[in-house]
């Protein structure tokens, strides 16, 4: 049985009122989970290197003696991801979301094999680059694919499921790291098994349809309607087709092909891209991947010198990340994207100040045990605040704020901003902590968090519950400076 034969009855109508629930349609949930395996690959690769690096340092002495080599092993995947994300947007628009996902899986499997058999750090770095290419394409594709197959009322929760897969992949990576700590060839197994989820996704994706919006706007209307009929009941289906028809008419009035520079020629697109790319940049510059990439290393800095203990504490942090994302799946369609991001950033700021204080006090005191545990508490609180908000919000907002003809290319450009920011943080974290100290480094991140808070207030609108067409009107009104703009800072459900 293919996924297209799963039940399509959604129960969306309740006593004449439209009521859409997360688990109301098994077809949509199945599509979301399978597409979200791309997020699992993303999260696994992010988490696994933090534990594997401890054992890579043990095997290759030149790595142990060079912070630059350590940072390069971590960040070369990010270089690949930057290129993958930049080209992934074009692949999505030209060939579709499904083919983009399949190509990402193939490259990821190849990279995992190269890493597992690497005879020296430099071949390992090549494998990391290939894995990064696959992760970069997947990071663009999965959110857009899920968003385009999601009812607007639960789009945030469904796209956030991809982020849950990212955090679940990170948690899984720490379990795998612990499982292989006593096995010969530790880090090779840790990195090599990352290809297994990619193989699984490749074969499952063969049974998934292409994105209905992509099909419709590429003039394959019959296939698009067939997919939509599995998502919506008949009354809602007619409404969705009407909206797609209107979007199609508008797209045909635009240029047939959209280039990178076209994004900056229109004020409304500049505003949309500023909001999306800014969120992606601040997601990284507020420090999440200093915790995820260097979690065990941070634990050792805090005084926990055993590799296994550092990994165990990091496993707990990864579990908190996954649990927080589950909370975010609920909140993002109830509280809204904007409020969730702001409350998340406020908590992240307080957590970073606590972390900075723990390391500063540890430096000036002999009571390293006490302040070491204070640092652990700071990391846990950081994840507890970050995961429900700034984890899913940037990816969700970027999957819904661009017009169809720009969605792939802008999503790719925005994801590239995320990966560039990620690279800068990963490549510089150990060097900055070595030069300034760990405490001052976390204070710098706290200062950036204040800037992120101000950015969200000024540039990011609320998109909760809005259709793609309604979101597009927000940017037209903002670009036109209309004083009668109906764009809500609170989404419809909040304006009671």
Structure tokens at 408: 């792939």
Annotate 166-230 with DSSP letters as a single string.
HHHHHHHHHHHHHHTTTSTTHHHHHHHTTHHHHHHHHHHHTTSPPPHHHHHHTT-HHHHHHHHTT
Identical fold for domains 21-208 and 265-479, yes or no, is yes
CATH topology of domain 21-208: Growth Hormone; Chain: A; (1.20.1250)
With a CB cutoff of 8 Å and minimum separation 6, the contacts of 162 are 32, 35, 36, 38, 39, 142, 143, 146, 395
Q: What is the pLDDT of residue 55?
A: 85
Tell which residue, 384, 351, 354, 396, has the closest CA to residue 371: 354
465 to each of 137, 153, 269, 493, how far by Cα in Å?
A: 27, 5, 21, 8
Domain limits, the chain = 21-208, 265-479
pLDDT tens for each residue of the chain, 496 residues long: 344 443 333 334 333 455 667 777 788 889 999 999 988 988 888 778 877 888 888 888 888 888 788 878 887 888 898 899 889 888 988 888 999 999 999 999 999 999 999 999 999 999 999 999 999 999 889 988 998 888 878 888 888 888 889 888 888 887 887 788 777 878 898 899 889 999 999 999 999 999 888 888 787 888 888 888 888 887 788 888 877 777 777 666 655 566 778 888 888 999 999 999 999 999 999 988 777 656 666 666 666 666 667 667 767 777 888 899 899 988 998 899 999 999 999 999 999 999 888 888 876 655 556 777 788 788 889 989 999 999 999 999 998 998 877 888 888 899 889 988 988 887 787 788 888 888 898 999 999 999 999 999 999 999 988 888 888 889 988 888 543 443 444 444 444 3
CATH topology of domain 265-479: Growth Hormone; Chain: A; (1.20.1250)
Tell which residue, 248, 291, 262, 266, has the closest CA to residue 442: 291
Q: What is the pLDDT of residue 227?
A: 86
Residue 398 CA to its chain's centroid (Å): 10
Tell which residue, 271, 210, 231, has the closest CA to residue 474: 271
d(CA 216, CA 395): 24
Q: What is the pLDDT of residue 115?
A: 94
């Amino acid at each position: 049985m293919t996924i297209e034969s799963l039940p399509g009855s959604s129960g969306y109508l309740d006593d004449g009122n439209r009521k859409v629930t997360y688990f109301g349609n098994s077809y949509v949930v199945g599509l979301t989970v399978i597409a979200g395996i791309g997020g699992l690959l993303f999260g696994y690769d992010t988490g696994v290197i933090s534990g594997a690096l401890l054992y890579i340092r043990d095997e290759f002495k030149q790595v142990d003696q060079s912070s630059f080599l350590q940072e390069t092993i971590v960040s070369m995947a990010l270089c690949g991801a930057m290129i993958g994300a930049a080209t992934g947007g074009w692949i999505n628009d030209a060939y579709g979301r499904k083919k983009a996902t399949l190509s990402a899986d193939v490259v990821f499997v190849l990279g995992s094999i190269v890493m597992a058999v690497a005879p020296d750090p430099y071949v390992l770095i090549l494998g990391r680059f290939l894995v990064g290419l696959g992760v970069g394409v997947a990071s663009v594709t999965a959110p857009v694919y899920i968003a385009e197959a999601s009812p607007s009322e639960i789009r945030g929760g469904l796209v956030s499921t991809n982020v849950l897969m990212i955090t679940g992949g990170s948690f899984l990576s720490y379990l795998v790291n612990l499982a292989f700590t006593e096995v010969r060839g530790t880090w090779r197994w840790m990195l090599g098994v990352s290809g297994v989820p990619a193989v699984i996704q490749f074969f499952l994706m063969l049974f998934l349809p292409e994105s209905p919006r992509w099909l419709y706007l590429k003039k394959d209307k019959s296939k698009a309607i067939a997919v939509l009929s599995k998502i919506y009941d008949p009354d809602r289906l007619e409404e969705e087709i009407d909206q797609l028809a209107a979007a199609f008419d508008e797209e045909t009035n635009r240029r047939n092909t959209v280039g990178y520079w076209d994004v900056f020629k229109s004020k409304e697109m500049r505003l949309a891209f500023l909001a999306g790319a800014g969120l992606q940049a601040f997601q990284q510059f507020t420090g999440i991947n200093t915790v995820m990439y260097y979690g065990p290393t941070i634990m050792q800095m805090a005084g926990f010198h055993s590799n296994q203990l550092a990994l165990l504490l990091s496993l707990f942090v990864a579990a908190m990340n996954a649990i927080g994302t589950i909370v975010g799946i609920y909140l993002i369609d109830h509280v809204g994207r904007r409020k969730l991001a702001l409350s998340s950033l406020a908590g992240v700021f307080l957590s970073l100040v606590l972390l900075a204080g723990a390391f500063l006090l540890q430096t000036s005191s002999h009571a390293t045990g006490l302040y070491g545990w204070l640092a652990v508490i700071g990391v846990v609180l950081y994840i507890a605040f970050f995961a429900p908000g700034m984890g899913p919000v940037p990816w969700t907002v970027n999957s819904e704020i661009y017009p169809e003809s720009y969605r792939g290319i802008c999503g790719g450009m925005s994801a590239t901003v995320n990966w560039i920011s990620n690279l800068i943080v990963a490549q510089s974290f150990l060097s900055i902590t070595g030069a300034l100290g760990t405490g001052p480094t976390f204070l710098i991140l706290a200062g950036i968090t204040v800037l992120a808070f101000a950015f969200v207030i000024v540039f990011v609108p609320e998109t909760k519950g809005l259709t793609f067409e309604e979101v597009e009107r927000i940017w037209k009104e903002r670009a036109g400076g209309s004083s009668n703009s109906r764009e809500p800072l609170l989404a419809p459900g909040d304006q009671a």
